[in-house]
Amino acid sequence: MLERISKKKISEKNDLINNEINKFKIDIENKKKKLLAQKNVMSVEEYNKKVNTLEKQIQEMNINITNKKKEFAIYQQQLENSFSKSLNKFIEQFSEKNSIDIILNKDNLLMAKKKLNITNQIFELFNTQVKTINLN
């Protein structure tokens, strides 16, 4: 449950960035069409000046998009790190409370009895006890 919420936060932030990029692309396309429609009406100097202005806007937005993508990657990493820290803390408390000496990653285990798998139990308890994850 909490993992889905984290993924939802990441997805929402990613969608917000993509929507902004799409709006920019549409705006630029409209400006290009308008400029091409006016090409024959305006002087060559004025046309070149407007083309240069449009190119500068595109360059500025590309820089802005790059920065937003970097910020998003940092946000995503922080959220994942915070989730992992919370889960690890919870697993540590769970193991102490239930007198478990060792907890192994299922992927690194060759063979064990299925009744020893406590993954679902931990996630159910984690989702009921941990309601929010703070980004630090």
Q: What is the pLDDT of residues 51-93, one digit of tens each?
A: 999 999 999 989 988 998 898 889 888 888 888 888 888 888 8
Query: CB of 54 within 8 A of CB of 31?
Result: yes
Among 80, 60, 67, 58, which Cα is nearest to 9's? 80
Q: What CA–CA distance (Å, rounded) separates 38 from 34?
A: 6
Q: Any idea where the domains of the chain sit in the sequence?
A: 2-129
- In this prediction the pTM is 0.65
Q: Residues 93-134: pLDDT tens digits?
A: 888 888 888 777 777 767 777 777 777 888 788 878 776 666
